Every structure is written in structure tokens, then in C-alpha cells.
Structure 1
């Protein structure tokens, strides 16, 4: 049965979508859905989540309902499906009533295989009546961006909680929940709040090897750093995220005056202006979008080549979600994060409005640890999501390009930290333990009597963020670990042994020059009390020490041609035609034709076909309709619609 299911799915994959094989966990997810088993799938952005419900929808006899949070995503998905010959519709407030009625009648007649609905639309009386019509059989209910159902998720939406009512209404329908980012707690919430029944939980790798991770301390005028990145991606699409609406407008204005093709996006603009700017970006009518985090969720634009964070995000979940908007087609892309101490102050200012301040601080500390890390950023990022990085580090991130940070003797600070974890009872997170080390007189510390501990106030030689870095490095070294929802710090067996035996502990920690004194001179042998306590004093301000960078592959030149030949290339080879001038000519002509055809059809250019397909045509130079079927991403309908034009372009002399 499963073999038959697999073969049937592979036939649809090739004939409709033009792909020869499945990626990541697609086949396993599709097999579970076709077997009518509820499924929760966690896959990275760009990992091909949409095929996991689109292919079953074409095999099931009934209707597949897709709950999606953004109108733009529905429009793009439906346009792409229609271009591939699939009858799909979306129903929301933007649809004219006559078209709305036509779409509902098409569903009643069984002609439509997939309907996209917003969670707010899903609970309206007319949609309720439609789905319960005797002529309609609901075979599958897919919940996209399923993390929105969890209050622990980074984009919780109360309307998503209403979806669970469908579980009892459509008992024969299979539920598929999809998301790109979900911690263990969020996964548990999704299963509980959507009432998934004995679900298969499939977690793909969080790694996006085609995205180069670059983190830099923000200069006084960060505009130069932004422009440097844009120049590396000449004539390519990119998104720049800013913390506030004011910053968005200011940066947009500066880039516009420099002659860049750029628009802004934030909540301060009217709905009409936001929609217009987003449409222009999606359709390659503007190169760069400067936006607050309100922009991007659900954007199905595969050819975004760079994402810049002009300010530090508030969590690694948010960061991962946003950089995932780059390189969805698998081609080489870049994620540049600029950070400063000021960013942290701004984020913490808004903690006052949060219901759970300690949780917000834990999320922020994860982000700070990543930004100030001394080891491979991909390794740090994946470890946050519980995954061990097993790939090659070469040209993986800026730190891998500069080489490992030198290790220094951090024995005494580590002994202090591990001893404080034990003396506070092994029941607190890093923020609390560090406050004890820094001598805080916070209410909880005084109530617990921890101001009377021998470890209280003995850690003032480092500031709060540096202590968090020590915590992170000890976790990497497997001396301590985090446990439970509140990330309680515990010593591992290795950590207990190191503390008991007073082992020397070397860490890649970049001690500020003013404090780069040998620990033997700074502390008395075997004591947790600083020898020169008065001269060390309290740490002033937040410091972000960063090793001196060698000239990385990305900074070798502003020439796009050179960045394709040096350093981080990965998938760049797929678009490097070398001496093949004819391939370059075909690519250029196809790009122009694709843009004209997209304007005629009033759809984004990637609906015609993506960059990967365009590059494959240029390389293979198909001369017949049969040869077109060997091109990645060209199914039967697209060959039928666009084949003659493609062959004409390839055949031009």
C-alpha cells in the first residue's frame, strides 16, 4: 500500500510540479497524510512544506482546506497552483462577492481541490455552511504556520485556537500542521490545541546550508554596512528588518537618495500602501524592502538573496523565521545581522509590557549568545533548536571564515558559575544565577536568602552579557545543561568532575583588554573571592567583544562575479556558467521574457518558473518539447503553456 502511495505521489510530483524527487521529509509526511494519520511537520522555510498538502490534495477525492494567516500567501499559492493546472481558490475579504460565489459553487461541484482560508474566515457562517454542504467532502485540513496556535510561539494568534473545533466536526478528515520553527513546548501546544489524534511528529533538519550567516557589531553609521551587503547582491532581491517604523522610513529614504530601488513596509502605512509595496516587491518591480517584523510571514518569494537585520531581533525564533525568507529556492543567499548594546536596551524596554518578563529575558539571552558567540554560528543556531550540526564549517559563517577564537584560561570564572548553580539549589535559570554572582539585591534573591551565599557578588569582574556568554560556552563544552521550560541550569557529570578536581578550563572567550589579566594574578588560589576586588569593580555597560575579522570571502570585493568565485559559494556554482556565453544569453533573455509574461498574467515572475528552473534551462538548452520535461520545475501544464516561448528563446542565434 505504502509503495503504491509513494509511486502515485511521485507521478503527481513530476507531472504537475516538474520535480524528479522529494526533498527532506516530504515523502514521509505525504505518506502519513495519505494514510489518514494526523501529522505535525516541522520543516525549515523553503523546505517545500506546501507540496506536503498539495500532492495529497490531488490524490484525495475530496477537498483540502488550508488555513493560512496571510492573504498574500494565499494569492501566491493559488496563482502558482493555477499555473500548474491545479484548480485552487482562496476565500477572504479581498474577493469580490460574485467571484466568491463562483468559487463556492466550484467547491460544491467538486471541481476545486484546494481552498485557502484565513482563520478568521474559517469560522464565518457561510464557510461553515459550505464545508458542511452534503456535496462537499473534506478530506484534509492543513494548518500552515501552526506555531500561531501556541502562546509560546513567536507569533501567537488567538483566532488559531478556533481551528480545533473542526476536529470533531470532520472526524474523517486528516489534520496536517506545518511550521518552520517549533520548540518542544510549542510542538506540545500545537498537538494539544489542534486536538491532533496520535499524530506522527516529523522534524526535519533546521539547517539551511545555502544561507551564509554573517554577524557584525553595528558601526556608528550602519548605512555603510548595509550598502556593502547590497553591493554584494547587485540586482537581487533583499529584505532589511528594522526595530521601529521611524528607522524603516529613515533607512528607506537614505537608500532611495543613494539611487537604490527600495520601498518601506510597516504598520504606520495604510493598508493600500502596504499592499502596493508588497506586491511590487513580490513581482520584482522593486529590489529592496525595508520593513518591521510585520513584513514577510507567508511571503512565498523564492529569490530573496539577502536578509539584513539592521537591529537585533528579540529571539532566535524570530531571527530564524526571518532569515528563512532568503534563498527559498535553495540558491546561495546571505543573512547579515548588525547588533549593538543599544538594541538590547530597546528590546528590554518593551519587556515592561510583557506578561512573562523572565521568559522574554531568556529568549533575548539566546539571541545575545548567538550574536556574541565565538564558535560556528550555524552550530550555535542549530543547537538552540536541539540539533547537532554535522556539516562542514568551511565558509559556513563569518566566524568560520575568520578561524576559531583563541582559548584563554577561564577556570576561576567557570568554577564560580558552577559553584553558584549548586549553592542556589540547582533550580534557577542563567539570569538568576548571574544576578547572584553580580551581587544583585533583587526581591527574589533577598527572599531566598541568596545574598548570604558565599557566591553572592563574587562575579563582578564580568558583566551580565559576558556571564551569559560563559554559560553558553560551558553548555557547548557539555559542562552544564539547560532543563525544562524555564531553562534551569544543571551541571553535567563532566561539569561536576571538573569542579571537584579543579580542572583547568579553557574557553574561546574574548576578555576585554582592561580585564585581560591572568586569573592566577586576579584571584587567590582556590578561592572564589577576587584578590583585588576594589580595583576590579562592577562592569560598566554592555560590552560586545568581537575578534578582529580577517577579510572574509564576502568582503573580498563588491563585484558579484568575484563573490561567486571566492569563499562562500555552495549553490552559486549552479548559476556560474563559466565560459558558456550562450547560457548567459539564454538566462538574460528568459528573465526578460518571464517578467513580461508575469505582467501579462498579473502574477509574480516566480509563478511562471523560479530561478532554479531558469538556470536549468540555460544549462541544458532544450531543443524539443520532450527535452523540456527534463528541466527541473517544468510540469505538463507549464510545458504546454510556456514551452513554445522557451524553445524559441533557447533557439535564438
Structure 2
């Protein structure tokens, strides 16, 4: 396994980042150990780096299996733009193009080869003579019939572990519930794979649901508030995409339809215009988006209700991949439910799909924090409301529902977590139907404990308890209700439960979006966006593959004017510095000279950090407020201290960490590198914390 220093140097050199996101370092370490891994990481969470970075340091080729040509091309273009030798192989290429690729493979000049699952059987002869270091299976949920996007071609991939027994496999997907995760591992013959579940909490996405009355008017109003950004409107039918695109065009927006009934050339043109920022709005069926890595989509609208929460989560995940604030809007209607139920009659696992549709409906009608619902569905339980969804911003009246919750959860427990919601309600209401009597449920202590509450009201209460994370549905076990870890707090620790007051709930027909229209064509960010688009057109690549919006925002904040400063921006690697550094630094210098003298600007940004410090903010809080990295905030504080400002580093570091670093300094006999401290703590204390603690120790010595 390469040294951590080498791994992090590679991360910065090729991907432009100083540090890993949560779980990435652990996953990459596991890959280097030759272990199999299943990675569940939300869209925009950094899944690709988990196999792309190891591929650079492993001795032989990495095979990446991907379901769509568009997805392969997009990833390969991004890798090449970063200076990484990668290619994709598919049926659309000429024989001479494929021959060249085989030649490169044999000469070991490539690090990554992307192929579709359908192509594998035709490549056996060529691959048999090529040593393989790693096999990555992207969009791995496609292998499972329990998943939301099952593809039969993925079924054959189970033979890979038998054929390449000593080669580690890493399977990756953005969305998979418990049943799907288990099925993926079984189908791929990697039952002992380490499972890595990243947080599904995309806090930058604002969640909103509205009734589907006057949809066109609401959409026009919504898009008008986001007129300078890119977005997607998902629709159930091809006809709706075309009609909606036409109506948006009639209202002065530039929009196009995208669906499977269009020719390949037409679809390619729409996709190309969208990723290149020349087409801001696409009205699409669900076929659109899977192959797009566009990081600056600012909003996603669902014209119709999706068929399940997995699809919904994956589709809204195409907004805000760069981490900047983005909006999502879902419309729901009874007509959507009827249409989706018809679709389910011809699908596999009809019972499972119907249950998942019901869960989607419950989300749309929820009276509790929507983010809690999404996270609990994927097995992630949070206790605090998010504050960034329509329910949190406009909450209903609540009652003390502790006793109701205790009755409901007790019934699930007494029934040994073996029945669906309908039977549980029948039991607590004292029903005398065949299911209850045949199974002797009338003998249970919870039988008839809540006769006074109507069946429909109990259904709403159970839905709220599921949405709050106290209960979950085991779709692969005939939709049985299961208790979660949180339920114990209610049953045994006297935790109070707040439930929405059903008697006071009235459907709200008018909604006000909280979005504000921000537009400043003369801002540095807009000038950098314009430059990015111009460079992208010359290079014939999508604009976001040069730099994403988050990187441009950091450039706007920090305003680097030297190569060294520019390299410190997140998202700037060696190749990007070589290709685009001159142009962007030139644009930043021109803007700075025009707007303000450089010194004044520099002192201003330091002054803002100083003001935040004087307010008593911690380094992470300052970084979040100023939209800068913690490293940048730290460098500001060091410069301010050198300039004579009083910066008490001791107040910025936890006492336990401070004492640990102090002890390590003595035991290591005053080492002159941070790496020595970092390794001493076995990477448990971050570099930034060590830096602050050492600065505090030095400050104490002087004083």
C-alpha cells in the first residue's frame, strides 16, 4: 500500500483537493489492501475518486463497468482533463479505434478502461492477456431486482469474482436500501465485502412539495426566480416533456424536451447543450441525467410523483453536486398515483414496487421533516429537524403523541415485527377479521388498545412514526414493519414524541417559495463563469469539467493572483493549473484592478476573517460562514497574528487535543514536521487541529 503522503499528493495533483471527503480515505485504504467493497454514497459525494485515485497508483489496469455510454464518456473526458490516461470501449467505436485501445492496454499506457456490461463477453480474449489490479462496478444497484433501476445485463457480472479471484471488486451506487445492498453483494459473489454507507444528508438541497394545481403557473414562477441557473424538470410521459418545454419557451425561457422517443442525434444534442451551459432547462423523462456529471445544476422539479424514494433521491441529487445551495420541488396528485399503479402491474416484484410507491406517497403527504424521512428510508437516523424543507419552514400544529407512539411500537413488538401496517392497525383497533383470528392475535395484550381512533387516523400516525424514524418497512419481507434503534428511546427511555395534530391540518393550496433572485452580471463569479464557458467551447468539453461552481465561488472569495495561491483553491490540480491557471488569474487580476486596489481587497478579506474571529466563531464556523476552506481561514489567522493582531490560538482548539499535542511535542522531542505529529496520532487528529495547537503552544512560550 502506498504511503498516505503519496496518496494525498496524488489527490491534490490530479483532482485538486487537499483532503478527502468522509469515508473516501477509508475506502481507498481498503482497496489497496485488496479487499472487496460496497460503497453507498450519495450523488456528488465523491464515489468516483474511490476507484479513480487507486487506479493511478496500482500497477495494472482498472476495469470500470458502467451502464451508459454517456456516463462513461463524461467520466473519461473528466479524467483526461485532469491528465489521467483513461478510455472507454463500446460498440459505437470503429474497429481501428478499438484496435488502438487494445494496443494501449498491452503497452500499459492506460490506467482506467470503462466498458458496458454487455461488452464484457466480447472482450474476454483481449482481457485475458492483460493484468488487472481492480474491478469497479458503477451504478451497482442495476444488478438487483430489488433496486429501482434493474438492468438484466448486470446479472452476468457475478462471474467476475470467480474468474479474477485475486482482484478486488468495488461496487458503487448512490441509492440502495438494505434489501438491495444485500442483493448486490450476493449477486456479485462478494458476500464479505466491507460496506461503506456515507451520510445521505445533502444539506444544501432545499426540499419542497406542493399539490399539483396550476402546475405550469407555479413552475413558471419558480424558474423565474432561478432564471440564471440550470435545472431539470422530470415528467412521467414523453408527451408532457414536449408540451411543458413548449409552454416554457412561450414564457420566454430556453427549454427543450428529452425522452426515449427522440432520435439518438436529437437526444445527444439536448444533452450536449445542457452540459455546455447553452441550454439551461431540460424537460425530461427519468432516462435523462444518469449519464451526466454536471455539477452546477441549481434546481430539480418533479412535474409528477416518482415511483419510489430511491428514484426521487437520485434525481434530486443531480442538483447541487458542487455543494452549493440548490432547490428541489415535487408536485403530487391522485392522478399520478393511479398512473404509477398501472405501471406497477407490468413490473417485476409487483408487491414490492407497490409498497415503495405507497412510501413515496407518504413522503409527499408528510407532516414531519422531509429530510428525516429520506434519511430514515436509507437507514440513517437523525433526531433534529433539518430546517431546510417546506414542513420545517411552515410546520403544522403538534400534539403530545407519546402514548400513541408507545401503543403503536408495542404492537409492532408484540407481533414480533412480522406483519405489515394494515394488520398492526387491525390488531390495536380490535378487528375480528380472518387474519387476526386465524393467527390468534386477539390473545395479545395490545389487542384493541386503541379502538377509539379511526383506522385512517392510525394510518396517518403510523406514517408519521415511520417518517420520524421509529419504524421502517422491510420491503423484501412482505412489507413487514420493523422497529429501529430509535424506538427503544420511546419504549424504554420515556422519550417524548410530537405528532402532527390531524384535527387541525388543512391542505394549503398556496405556497410561497423562499428562493430569492440574485443576479449580478458584473460580479467576479459571473465573469469567471463566462471565461469558463468560453474555454470550454474552445476545448469542446462541458464547462463544469474545467472547474465547478464551488471552485469558482472560492476563487471569487480568495481572489488568487499567483500560481501558488491558485493551486491552493479546492478543485485545482496540476493539469488544471497548467491548462487554465493563466487565464483565470488574468481575469481575477483584471477584475481586482478595476474594482479595488489589490492591497485593499486583500486586507478586506483578512478583515472579514478577523471580524468573524472577534465574534467568537470557531475555525469550522468561520469557514462555513465565509465559504472558504479551513486551511484558508487558518492562513488568514496566521497572517493576522504576524501583522500584530492578537489571535489567541488556545481558544480555537479543544482542551483535550491541545494537551495531546503538547504531550506529543515532548515525546517526539520537538519534531519539525506536521507529518510526525499526524502519524503519532494515527491520523486521529486532523492537520488543521495540530497546526492550531502548535501555534497555541508557541504563543504560550513567548508569553
Query: Considering the TM-score relative to the shorter chain, is it more than 0.5?
Result: yes
Which residue in 2 is equivalent to 1:406?
398
1:649 equivalent to 2:587? Answer yes
Contact 1:40 1:177 in 2 (8 A): yes
Distance 1:378 1:624 in 2: 42
Contact (CA 8 Å) 1:144, 1:178: kept in 2 or not? Answer: yes
CA contact 1:5–1:34 (8 Å) conserved in 2: no
Contact 1:41 1:179 in 2 (8 A): yes
Aligned residue for 1:593?
531
Question: Does 1:157 find its partner at 2:154?
Answer: no
Paired with 2:450 and 2:395, the residues of 1 have a C-alpha distance of 35
In the alignment, which of 117, 120, 123 is matched to residue 118 of structure 2? 120
Alpha-carbon displacement from aligned partner over 1:427-472 (angstroms, at most 9, x marks no partner)? 3212455689999999989998999x99799799564xx6543212
1:213–1:397 CA contact under 8 A, matched in 2: yes
Matched, 1:144 2:138: yes
Distance 1:26 1:17, change over 3 A: same
Residue 18 (structure 1) shift = 1.1
What secondary structure is seen at the aligned counterpart in 2 of 1:123? helix
Question: Counterparts of 1:60-139 in structure 2 under 5 Å?
Answer: 60-124=58-122, 127-133=123-129, 136-139=130-133
Give me the whole-angstrom Cα distance separating, in 2, the residues matched to 1:338 and 1:243: 12
Gaps of 5+ in 1: 514-544, 562-576
Alignment of 1:284-433 (within 5 A): 284-389=277-382, 393-394=386-387, 396-407=388-399, 427-431=418-422
Gaps of 5+ in 2: 595-703
User: Partner of 2:29 in structure 1?
Assistant: 31
CA contact (8 A) 1:437 1:459 kept: no
Aligned counterparts of 2:490 and 2:147: Cα–Cα separation in 1 = 37
Query: Contact 1:436–1:457 at 8 Å: present in 2 too?
Result: no
CA distance in 2, matches of 1:505, 1:99: 63
In 1, Cα distance between the equivalents of 2:249 and 2:204?
29
Separation of aligned partners in 2, 1:112 and 1:273: 32
> Does the alignment pair 1:260 with 2:256?
no
Could you tell which deviates more after superposition, 275-284 or 303-312?
275-284
* SS of the residue 2:588 aligns to: helix
Match of 1:199 among 193, 196, 200: 193
Residue 92 to residue 459, structure 1, CA distance change in 2 (3 Å)? farther
Secondary structure, counterpart of 2:391 in structure 1? helix
Query: 2:45 is matched with which residue?
Result: 47
* Distance in 1 between residues matched to 2:409 and 2:569, nearest whole Å: 58
Once the two structures are superposed, the pairs formed by residues 3-42 of structure 1 within 5 Å of their partners are 4-42=2-40
- Does the aligned pair in 2 maintain the 1:241–1:291 contact within 8 Å? yes
Contact kept? 2:431, 2:448, Cα under 8 Å: no
Deviations 1:168-198 (A, max 9, x none): 2222321111011111111111111111263
Query: For residue 565 of structure 2, what is the aligned residue in structure 1?
Result: 627
- TM-aligned CA distance change 1:438 to 1:36, over 3 Å: same
Query: What is the Cα deviation at residue 94 of structure 1?
Result: 2.4
Which secondary structure state, in structure 2, belongs to the residue aligned with residue 560 of structure 1? Answer: coil
8 Å CA contact 2:372, 2:385 repeated in 1: no
Deviations 1:184-232 (A, max 9, x none): 111111111111263211111111011111111221x201221222122
Q: Which residue in 2 is equivalent to 1:560?
A: 518
Q: For 2:30, what is the secondary structure of its paired residue?
A: helix
Aligned-CA RMSD value? 3.5
Of stretches 376-385 and 94-103 in structure 1, the one that deviates more from structure 2 is 94-103
In the alignment, the residues of structure 1 paired with residue 481 and residue 3 of structure 2 have an alpha-carbon distance, to the nearest angstrom, of 47
Using the alignment, how far apart are the partners of 1:389 and 1:494 within structure 2?
9
**Structure 2 matches for 1:162-173, cutoff 5 A?**
162-173=156-167
Shift of 1:620: 2.2
Tell me the distance in 2 between the aligned counterparts of 1:237 and 1:90.
28
How far is the alpha carbon of 1:404 from its aligned partner? 4.7
**Given the superposition, is the C-alpha separation of residues 11 and 425 from structure 1 closer, same or farther in structure 2, using an over 3 Å criterion?**
closer
1:607 to 545, 559, 562: 545
Q: In the superposition, relative to structure 1, how do residues 172 and 504 fare at CA in structure 2: closer, same or farther (>3 Å)?
A: closer
Q: Please tell me whether the aligned partners of residues 237 and 288 of structure 1 are also in contact (alpha carbons under 8 angstroms).
A: yes
Distance 1:445 1:224, change over 3 A: farther
Q: Distance in 1 between matches of 2:585 and 2:485?
A: 65
Query: Structure 2-normalised TM-score?
Result: 0.76
Looking at structure 2, the residues matched to 446 and 604 of structure 1 have their Cα atoms a distance apart, in angstroms, of: 64
Check the 8 A contact 1:510/1:547 in 2, yes or no.
no
Distance 1:489 1:55, change over 3 A: closer
Compared CA separation, residues 460 and 84, structure 1 to 2 (3 A): same
Q: For 1:48 and 1:391, how far apart are their aligned partners in 2? A: 25
- In the other structure, the counterpart of 1:176 is 170
Deviation (angstroms), 1:485:
2.9
Q: CA, structure 1 residues 485+633, in 2 after alignment: closer, same or farther (shift >3 Å)?
A: same
The alpha-carbon distance between structure 1 residues 497 and 325, as it changes in their structure 2 partners (threshold 3 A), is closer
Partner of 1:518: none
Contact 1:266–1:294, Cα closer than 8 Å, also in 2: yes
| 1:282/1:604 contact within 8 Å kept | yes
Q: Distance in 2 between matches of 1:260 and 1:441?
A: 59
Q: Deviations over 1:277-323 (max 9, x none)?
A: 11111111201111111111131111111011111111111111111
> 2:201·2:375 contact (CA, 8 Å) conserved in 1?
yes
May I ask how many residue pairs the two structures share in their alignment? Answer: 586
Deviation at 1:619, TM superposition (A): 2.3
Counterpart CA distance in 2 for 1:601 and 1:206 is: 35
How much does 1:482 deviate?
Answer: 4.6
Contact kept in structure 2, 1:266 and 1:295, CA below 8 Å? yes
**For residues 478-520 of structure 1, what are the alpha-carbon distances to aligned partners after superposition, in whole Å with 9 as ceiling and x for unaligned?**
8766557333236899999999xxx99973143478xxxxxxx
Secondary structure of 2:39's match? strand
Secondary structure of the structure 1 residue equivalent to 2:92: coil
Q: Which range moved further: 592-601 or 320-329?
A: 592-601
**Relative contact order (C-alpha < 8 Å, sep 6+): which is higher?**
1
Q: What is the TM-score when the length of structure 1 is the normalising length?
A: 0.81
Q: Decide whether aligned partners of structure 1 residues 86 and 184 sit closer, same or farther in structure 2, where only a CA change above 3 A counts.
A: same
Q: Deviations over 1:112-150 (max 9, x none)?
A: 1101111111221xx2122112xx211000000011111
Partner of 1:471: 462
Q: Which residue of 2 aligns with 1:538?
A: none
Distance 1:96 1:355, change over 3 A: closer
User: Is 1:38–1:197's contact at 8 Å kept on the other side of the alignment?
Assistant: no
Relative to structure 1, the CA distance from residue 118 to residue 504 in structure 2 (aligned partners, 3 Å threshold; closer, same or farther) is closer
Indicate the residue corresponding to 1:224 in structure 2.
217
Partners of 1:302 and 1:494 in 2: CA distance:
35
